[in-house]
Amino acid sequence: MRKFVTFRKRLHRLNISIICLVLAIVCMIIGLLSYRQNLITAYAKEQAILSADATGQDTTTAIHDLKMYSENHMHASVSFWLEEKYNRDVIAAHDAATTAQLGSINNELYATAQATCGERTDSVTKANCIINYIHAHEPAESQLAAKPEALPDKKDYAYNFSSTGWSWDLAGISFTLGTVGLFASIALALKHK
């Protein structure tokens, strides 16, 4: 009878060890699924930012949201760059440089034309002289493209958000509980051999 009671106690302790092992495996599976879900969510947020960029919408709040998500979740690292915003800003910089350059050339040309035609007494004759002078001395396309515009830096449009190795999200807590359960299962199994 005594052997039966001892056997029953060992079986009970072994059952607790098996229960801890099963719970550890369940926690690890939940952790793996959460780990994968973090990456899927970060990728979806990245794609939403890129599609908003393609349509010309403001992406500032979405980028901040993705940054916070990546910092607070495991396996949520993303890298991307806003190519469409960069292209829009390059076109804007080119247009601004061309307008500024053309404006300064036109101002200089008009001032020179007025100085050359300034001795005319009749306003119609003076206006015709200025028009003829401007048409004769208009800058060529090659002169307009001679000065390079200041292009925006591509680094300002690139984003790289790294996630932490461990965090207080579902994946991190599940992995921690699974590891503790695994060690408890092993300890209980070894203690009562």
Quick one: pLDDT at residue 1? 58
How big is the CA angle at 77 (ends 75 and 79), to the nearest 5 degrees? 155
Quick one: pLDDT at residue 91? 87
For 49-85, what is each residue's pLDDT tens digit?
Answer: 999 999 999 999 999 999 999 999 999 999 999 999 9
Predicted confidence band of residue 6 (pLDDT cuts 50, 70, 90): low
Quick one: pLDDT at residue 100? 61
Considering the domain architecture, whether residues 193 and 98 belong to the same structural domain is answered as no
Considering the domain architecture, whether residues 153 and 168 belong to the same structural domain is answered as no
With 0-12 / 13-18 / 19 or more C-beta atoms within 10 angstroms meaning exposed / middle / buried, residue 27 is buried
For 123-178, what is each residue's pLDDT tens digit?
Answer: 767 777 777 777 777 765 545 554 556 788 999 999 999 999 999 999 999 999 99
- For 110-119, 155-164, 174-183, which range has the lowest pLDDT when averaged over its residues? 110-119
How big is the CA angle at 80 (ends 79 and 81), to the nearest 5 degrees? 145
Quick one: pLDDT at residue 182? 95
With 0-12 / 13-18 / 19 or more C-beta atoms within 10 angstroms meaning exposed / middle / buried, residue 180 is middle
Q: Is the confidence at residue 13, as pLDDT, over 70? A: no
Q: What is the 3-state secondary structure (H, E, C) of the chain?
A: CHHHHHHHHHHHHHHHHHHHHHHHHHHHHHHHHHHHHHHHHHHHHHHHHHHHHHCCCCCHHHHHHHHHHHHHCCCCCEEEECHHHHHHHHHHHHHHHHHHHHHHHHHHHHHHHHHHCCCCCCHHHHHHHHHHHHHHCCCCHHHHCCCCCCCCCHHHHEEEECCCCCCCCHHHHHHHHHHHHHHHHHHHHHHCC
Quick one: pLDDT at residue 101? 60
Q: Identify residue 73 by its one-letter amino acid code.
A: H
Considering the domain architecture, whether residues 184 and 145 belong to the same structural domain is answered as no
First-to-last C-alpha distance (Å) of the chain: 20
Considering the domain architecture, whether residues 5 and 61 belong to the same structural domain is answered as yes
Considering the domain architecture, whether residues 3 and 72 belong to the same structural domain is answered as yes
Considering the domain architecture, whether residues 54 and 20 belong to the same structural domain is answered as yes
Range of the domain at 178: 1-77+164-193
Quick one: pLDDT at residue 146? 47
Considering the domain architecture, whether residues 35 and 61 belong to the same structural domain is answered as yes
Considering the domain architecture, whether residues 168 and 157 belong to the same structural domain is answered as no
Considering the domain architecture, whether residues 89 and 151 belong to the same structural domain is answered as yes
Considering the domain architecture, whether residues 97 and 118 belong to the same structural domain is answered as yes
Determine contact, residues 117/129, Cβ cutoff 8 Å: yes
Considering the domain architecture, whether residues 64 and 90 belong to the same structural domain is answered as no
Quick one: pLDDT at residue 119? 72
- From the list 65, 41, 73, the residue with the least C-alpha distance to 159 is 65
User: What is the number of structural domains in the chain?
Assistant: 2
- The predicted model scores a pTM of 0.69
